[in-house]
Amino acid sequence: MESCHHKMTADTGNKFYRYLPGVVLAAIIFLYSVIALRDLGYSYAPSTSWQAQGKGSRIELDFGKDIFIGGFRYYLGNYEHREFSLEIGSGEPVQWESLGTVRFDRVYQWSSTSVNRSGRYLRLTSEKQFSELKELIVYDRSGENLIPENAASYQELFDEAYMYPGYITFRSGTIFDELFFGRTAYEYLHGLQSYEDTHPPLGKILISIGIAVFGMNPWGWRVMGTLSGILMLPLAWAFARRVLKSSWMACSVAALLAFDFMHFTQTRLAGVDGFLVLFIWTSYYFVFRYWEEIRDGEGRGWRFLPPAGFFLGMAVSCKWSGFYAGAGMALILFAIFIAGLRKGTLSGKYLRQTFWVCAGSFFIIPAAVYVVSYFPYIPPGGKNGLWQDMWMNQKNMLAYHVNVSSSHQYASPWYQWPLMIHPFPFFRNYRGDMAEAVFAIGNPVVWWSGAASFFLCLYKVMDKRDKMAAFLCTIYLAPLLPWIFVHRSSFLYHYFPCVFPSILCTAYCCKAGKKGKFCMGGLVLGAGAAFLMFYPILAGQMVKIHYIETWLNWLPGWGLAD
């Protein structure tokens, strides 16, 4: 009886231990989701708008008496570079003084223009064919709002002034490339002429889902990217578990990815890189599953090739740099086939059959995904049919990327990325001795250990012909090495597809023995501590400039508080 009790206790303990890594993974995903979704941005923004239907459309405000007008704040709709002539008037009859032309540039973000004149009337006259102004706030010398007596005539301009947050913040509007991608996602959703066509459409289509559900506000245009960052964590765990044959080491990999700065900041923006990276890693996961089955002598490995091709098509439909991953997959499959022929484990008949599976998986399926992604695409003046419009867009994209400037203040060549020589500021705003910033930068613990581990894996390949190390080196180098031949400006965030492979390299080097696992645990703790330290400049939290200068400028060239 006592032995049965011990056996039941042991079985219960074994089951608990077996499921514990899943509990840990769920905790990692839950905590990351809470932190990533917290303070993502306001779930509201001005929605009603005054529209200028043509050149000469006017806004003429009457304040009832002469008053000092300090300036005005405005929130622009989805048409940028709108120009208005600005005039101030006084007296009877009204004498108008021209204050020149003002240009409204940033879409879906609060901006301001100074006036600093006294007068009773303020007049804005559109100099563009079409303009959309969602909100207008006129303020006096002390910054207090001035309500014109004829505000009811421009109800759409003065009904949502309460949404102005008091200062320019990432929470209230677009930052960095969001003004392109968020705007274009809105235009896809509403069947409008789309503005941004420098990348294929899929990423913007995915952003538009969040806008459709939550509205055209910062939360709405960022939530889908944040979801992509959350989904990367179970994917990283599943992938690492296959590579490392350890659920606990896979949890460590997921934790390191959760603590990585680039993963956190890049996926919390309305950009396409989060989707690109998610699809690249998913595609590689299925290629790895195929290799596993071939290596283990299973005859049904081919079933993993179509999903690999599907997600490759999804990646390319977000950004052309998804082709880099395709080159890496081709190299991996070629190596598998050559090794199989040499060992005699793969027959010529099998290879002929697999050739047709590969042709369908990596040509037909991705091409179909790419074409379908263009269904919501509306190019400028697009009345030529899908195929001609697609072809024109391919030429436009190629011309754009060929002609992008090769000089930029925050540009950095590919070989500097693992060391994070030049962080990229997505957003910065200073208020006295405080700063609110969002930076594209990697977690030093994750990136520097990953770079060192890559070279250790490369040594394993050359010295021991380690096939797993060769696989990891390939998926790390595939999205990186093509940048050698790219002469346009490149930036630190282009290293994002390499982050997870570098973490896998780290875990692979640490997987053997207690010392290696202890080292991996130390890296997780160190990465978590670094995440807490840098969190203010990753999530746009207001922090003392002195704190950034003293504790976060780890390298001389970072200039995080400049």
Express each pLDDT in 198-215 by its tens digit: 999 999 999 999 999 999
Nearest to 242 by CA among 284, 273, 211: 284
**Alpha carbons 331 and 356: distance in angstroms, whole number:** 17
Question: Which of helix, strand or coil describes residue 160?
Answer: coil
pLDDT, position 249: 94
Structural domains counted in the chain: 2
Specify whether the backbone of 133 is left (phi greater than 0), alpha (psi in -120 to 50) or beta. beta
From residue 361, how far is each of 113, 282, 289, 295, 365 by CA, in Å? 54, 14, 15, 20, 5
- Nearest to 39, CA basis, from 218, 272, 225, 301: 218
* DSSP letter, residue 80: -
The pLDDT assigned to 118 comes to 95
Give the per-residue pLDDT at 191.
84
Helix (H, G, I), strand (E, B) or coil at 89: strand
**206 near 181, Cβ under 8 Å?**
no
CA 444 to chain centre: 20
| Nearest CA among 504, 422, 488 for reference residue 456 | 504
Tens digit of each residue's pLDDT (9 = 90 or more) over 411-447 = 899 999 999 999 999 999 999 899 999 999 999 999 9
User: Is there a domain that residue 229 lies in?
Assistant: no
| pLDDT at residue number 5 | 52
Single residue among 103, 131, 163 that ends a domain in this structure = 163
What is the Cα–Cα distance from 74 to 110, expressed in whole angstroms?
6
Counting residues of the chain whose pLDDT is more than 90, the rounded percentage is 73
**439 inside domain:** no
Give me the pLDDT at residue 247, please. 93
Question: What pLDDT is attached to residue 43?
Answer: 96
Residue 196 near residue 23, CB atoms below 8 Å: no
**pTM metric for this prediction:** 0.92
pLDDT digits 0-9 by tens, 374-410: 988 765 555 677 888 888 889 888 888 877 766 778 8
pLDDT of residue 173: 95
The whole-number average pLDDT for the span 173-181 is 93
Residue 137 bridge partners (DSSP)? 73
Nearest to 61 by CA among 4, 12, 122: 122
- Is pLDDT at 488 greater than 60 in this prediction? yes
Q: Is residue 267 part of a domain?
A: no
CA distances from 552 to 36, 290, 416, 428, 491 (A): 21, 43, 19, 15, 20
Kindly give, in sequence order, each residue whose CB lies less than 8 Å from that of residue 381, ignoring residues fewer than 6 positions away.
Answer: 193
Query: What would the pLDDT profile of 318-377 be if each residue is shown by its tens digit?
Result: 999 999 999 999 999 999 988 888 887 777 888 888 889 999 999 999 999 999 999 887
For residue 201, being part of any structural domain is answered with: no
503, 262 in Cβ contact below 8 A?
no
pLDDT tens digit sequence for 23-72? 999 999 999 999 999 999 999 999 999 998 888 899 999 999 999 999 99
Confidence of residue 456 (pLDDT cuts 50, 70, 90): very high
Alpha-carbon span 329 to 290, nearest angstrom: 11
- The answer to whether the CB of 333 falls within 8 A of the CB of 325 is no
C-alpha span between 257 and 226 (Å, rounded): 14
Asked if residue 6 belongs to a domain, the reply is no
Give me 6's structure tokens.
Answer: 């011990």
Which tokens is 26 given?
A: 């769920």
Q: How far is CA 65 from CA 68, 113, 178, in A?
A: 10, 22, 41
pLDDT for res 310: 97
Q: How many CB atoms lie within 10 A of CB 368?
A: 13
CA distance 236 to 253: 7
Torsion of CA 11, 16, 21, 24, to 10 degrees: -170
Looking at the domain assignment, is residue 356 inside a domain? yes
First to last CA, the chain: 73
Which of 107, 134, 163 marks a domain boundary? 163
Query: The tokens of 89 are what?
Result: 């008037």
Give the H or E element holding residue 61: strand 58-76
Q: What is the mean pLDDT of residues 285-301?
A: 86
Q: What is the pLDDT of residue 201?
A: 94
Average pLDDT over residues 529-554: 96
pLDDT exceeds cutoff 60 at 511:
yes
Distances in Å between the alpha carbon of 278 and those of 74, 238, 406, 500?
A: 36, 13, 28, 10
Residue 145 within any structural domain of the chain = yes
Structural tokens at position 438? 């969002």
Six-digit token string for 401: 């990327």
Question: What distance in Å separates the CA atoms of residue 463 and residue 447, rounded to the nearest whole number?
Answer: 24
Strands (DSSP E) found in 417-488: 424-431, 434-440
Where a domain ends, among 372, 391, 422?
372
Residue 532 pLDDT more than 90?
Answer: yes
92 residue type, one letter? E
pLDDT recorded at residue 381: 55
Band (13; pLDDT cuts 50, 70, 90): low
Residue 293 covered by a domain: yes
Which tokens sit at 172?
């209230």
Domain extent for 155? 50-163
Residues 243 and 468: beta-carbon distance below 8 Å:
yes
- pLDDT at residue number 437: 95
pLDDT of res. 134:
95
Q: How confident is the model at residue 28, as a pLDDT?
A: 97
Tell me phi and psi for residue 423, to 5 degrees.
Answer: -60, 155
Contact 48, 106 (CB under 8 A): no
Distance, in Å, from the CA atom of 66 to the CA atom of 77, rounded to the nearest integer, reads: 30
Q: Which of 423, 402, 362 lies closest to 556 in space, CA to CA?
A: 423
Q: Give the chain's mean pLDDT.
A: 91
Q: What is the pLDDT of residue 562?
A: 78
Give me the CATH number covering residue 63. Answer: 2.60.120.260
Q: Cβ distance 263 to 499 under 8 Å? A: yes
Which residues, in sequence order, are CB contacts of 9 under 8 Å at separation 6+? none
Which pLDDT tens digit goes with each residue over 117-130?
Answer: 999 999 999 987 78
Sign (positive or negative) of CA dihedral 258, 264, 266, 272: positive
Q: How far is CA 349 from CA 120, 343, 344, in A?
A: 87, 15, 12
